[in-house]
Structure 1
Amino acid sequence: MLLLGHDWAPPPATFHSYELFARAVIPYFKGQLAAPRASHEWARGKRDQLIGRAGEAVVKAITEHVAEQGEAGS
């Protein structure tokens, strides 16, 4: 890969631009983002189910904690 760099920006800004290019653009063209994208779409599709189960687990943990505190205080 060849990048043409003009000295129009301060070096930190240029390095930041190169870093963004390396993290976002190159992986896209190398096909390295397909698996994370598929995982994201899967999670979005099951969002309600996953959030519901997580919420139920939180409520259960709180209920059990309150019950334990009540028993310990008796």
Structure 2
Amino acid sequence: MAVGFMLLYTKLSNVLSKKALFYTVMLPFIAFFGAFGFVLYPLSNYIHPEALADSLLNTLGPRFLGPSQS
């Protein structure tokens, strides 16, 4: 993702002005963090895969639970 962003940024820097490049790069970051704060985090109880994890644990057994803490 970082290499892809770098390539896209390089292409855009050759085409856009500095001000337009700044807003073009900052807008996706602002949109993501805005969506995270106002949509994703408040709905985390609904979109968290707890039910899937519980069903996989019941299907696969406790040996797939991970390292024990004891």
For this structure pair, what is the TM-score category when the shorter chain's length is used for normalisation? 0.3 to 0.5
Structure whose CA Rg is larger? 1
> What is the TM-score of this pair, normalised by structure 1?
0.38
> What is the TM-score of this pair, normalised by structure 2?
0.39
Q: Which has the higher contact order (CA 8 A, sep 6+)?
A: 2
